[in-house]
Structure 1
Amino acid sequence: AGHLVLLAVLLPLCSRAAPERLRYAIPEEMESGSVVGPLARDLGLSPADLPARQLRLVSAARRQLKYFSVSADTGHLYVSERLDREEMERVCERMQMCLINLEILVESYMKIFKVEIEITDLNDNAPKFHQDKLQFRISETAAVGMRFPLEEAQDEDVGLNALQRYELSGDEHFALDVQTGPDGSKNAELVLTKALDREEAALHELVVTAVDGGNPARTGTARIRVVVLDANDNAPVFSQAVYTVRVREDVPIGSRLLTVNATDADEDTNAEVTYSLRRMPGGASRLFQMNPRTGDVTTTGTLDYEEVSLYELEVHAKDGGDLLARAKVLVNVMDVNDNVPEIIVTSAVTSVFEDSPAGTIIALLKVKDEDSGAGGEVTMSLPDTLPFHLHKTFEDYYSVETSRELDREAVSEYNVTVRATDGGSPALWSSAVLPLRVLDVNDNAPVFAEARYSARLPENNAKGALVLRVRAWD
């Protein structure tokens, strides 16, 4: 009868081909409580099935869990916290396609489904210059065609909604030249198109406008003030266009990573070079600093390979006449085996009947290690002396199963210790203990102490007189 009931429970879901992976697309700015999609229906579950199925969100990156929830009543997937791609920097990382991966458990038969949610971008941010007022001090002897790099405007949106072009208004002495970098960045330079004459005009006022590709487009502006000077006609020159350094993620705070160097062919104050770090995205401004005199780049915070493995910094070298050059510094963070494998008990039972067949699942586990390479490769193990084994079920999920029938009369309780060990050197490990009680079934007949009993007694005994005693155990 027990087996017939189990078949009746599993039949509704097994009779429909539920997809292994679902995908939804929703716009950013959705408020808490908004419906992402009819998750239960898309998995082939009816509302009547939900209480028995115990549908729930069991796993995702910790920083993503807070954004979504599953209704136990309707089976719908809901937004739990307002979605803003720009505020979800560590989730979307300014990718044009922002995908959030969730894992859904159907508790009743321990099955995991993957759900992908794409957060589409809205044009809700205008391009913005870090400084809305810029000043250049340019010698009147500056050659036509001389270039002056401008700070790149920042737009938190992506794709067509991001920064697309620059426009310049002012006078005939200047024009804009915009170059698109391999990463899609728009680097604008102010180009001198007509010789300056300080005696004719000592000051030039310009306006640069950054325009995105939204409909309607959003813009940001910065005012440029050009002061015409006498005779600083050489800009600093870096010894390299790109500096690259590799550093372990456990490098101590205050460590010097590298030194950049720029020279200026001018003399006196016009040849004095000052260094600075610019354009440091993703919180890099809290991790690095530059000595303005020596060009030393040092750490001011703790690096974490699992969060960011590559930093691209922009270095400026400015001389005494406000001419500047720029170079890139690439900081490659090397992984260190500093994360212990984590065992997550997704689902587990606390008791099992002793006549349960071999292969009975007692727990569903997930293991993860934030490290990369060998340090992120995890091996799961159980003590050889226990009547249990591990079975890999889905990607990084494992089930703990019985390897034979149990015997309550021999062992009535187990503390099953599961161990996860990574491949780092030295290796790191963690463990989880699964308490399990073995329930009794009537699988033992009573046994007499003796196979045969005999007694001698005299005749004429009184009624109720003791003849002999027998003893049996179960």
Structure 2
Amino acid sequence: EVSDMNDNIPRFTFGNKTVQIDELTPLGTELARFDAKDGDAQRNGRVTFYASPESNLLHVVPQTGQVRLVGSLLGVSQVILRLYVKDGGDVTLIGEPVYLSVSVRKSSRARRRVRALSEDLTYSVTVPDHIRVGDLVFTVPDQKFEQRWFEVISEADSPVQIERDSGRLYLARDLREPAEVVVKIQNLRGDEWYLCRLTLSTPSQADLQWAMFPSPFLATISPDASPSSVVYRLSARQRDGTLEQAQFLLLDGGEDCFEVDRRSGMIKITGRPLTPSREYLLRVQAVDGRGRKGPPATVFILAGYRPPQFTNSTYSLNVPEDTPVGQSVAVVQAISFQKKSLSYMLLVNPGNLFSINQESGAVSLTRTVDYESGHNLHNLQVRASEADTGLSSVAEVVVHIMDKNDCTPEFLHSIYTRDNIPESVAPGTSLLQVLARDCDSGVNSELSYFIPSGDFDITSEGVVSPARRLNYERPNHIYEFVVVAVDSGAPPRTGTASVRVRVANSNDEAPVFSQSVYKTFLSEDAGPDTLVAIVHANDPDGDGVSYAITGGNEDSNFQLDNQKGIIKLR
């Protein structure tokens, strides 16, 4: 029977991956999946995936190679994960790493408000159909404040009640349709607070979401428009992104001035007189093909002229520090409800670091930026104007200058030396510490150390120790090797330094004679001082040797020079 040797290193099937996700992506979402192959059999060919260093935001499933989101991405612009694959052999073999780069974009699910703390947290909560009034529905998480209290601030007829101290939500009434609940989380030790938005639904309710853009849903109509004029079009899709052939209902609002076509989603005027400059609020809902209801929404219709609407009320841009001057970093756009051309200008532009194209809204740099300078956050204001009507709107643009891995790790010294280390020193004993610095930030500045030589080990703090017993008898009694510092950027950068360890001798070797037996012949009439033999020995430690007769000279017939090893007759 032929046994398999673990002689194949596992390898990833594909290389690095890059994904872009919304900052409100639900926890548990699979972001990527990696595969690897190992040419060995059975246990030796069984591969396991892991990340190093580990991330508190992303989790690698060891058996499948799936990467799942396990932490909130609010306030995070980019996550880089370094993945490894290893086999199951007795002596584990580890393949070359690959990198997963996750770019996080700001969410457009809710109208953004600038607050001292982060944007809203958003969760989708599925409430079981059999749940009863008074049962626990969800516990609102909070990891920002040591002490806090919770408050439901959505409409009075909220389907849930909350415990102020614990954040536990209990069902207060039957959940007849999907509902949005807004919870305010207040710091008890200060004025800070933020919001948590929950979408509650039951399995029997439709898995629909609105597909209109942008939010909030705004429209205009002339007060003199003819009956059946189209004002707005509703559309819905499944949460997986596929379009849904839904029907649309007008729940309330509109003062009988508007109607909704159930199949097309067209909102039209009925012909009843419209009040000029009045804004009408229409509450609408989508229903899927099986009659299941989706979440309601509100459409705001103004009878008159409406200022332009930006696609976001707040834009958050991540600009790499190596972005060329003049290259567009984002396009800030608005919608004209009067179908007029718009012009854009920067109202707030500290240091005139940015410029904007007046016609397209494209934002670009006017000069190079350097993350390491420390000026990495810039708040801009953009105005979109209609020349004919004079109407305008303003949006905030928050620019984060992002670090690029453009710094190479540098050791504080090019050569590290340690002298007179006894060759008998125990493996694992600390000999010296090396230290490197990286002028980048975040993951790009996180360093790890390794030594290509098998004679020495190094810790994550740069402490060097012998991996095995040292040997004084090596050339010049010196160990000389290279230590490498690697940052965690993608791709990583490396820096090197030299280490010299001079070994001191320990008397751990016995002298060795040049021969095990010395034979000589003497005449029976040989006289005193006759040369009998010369013995010679060396000490592997390099120490001097001395000689002594330990037996066979009971009659004292022989004399020995204890330094030279010369034996003569007495």
Give the structure-2-normalised TM-score. Answer: 0.34
Larger radius of gyration: 2
| TM-score normalized with structure 1 length | 0.39
Higher normalized helix content (fraction of residues): 1
Q: Greater relative contact order (Cα 8 A, min sep 6): structure 1 or 2?
A: 1
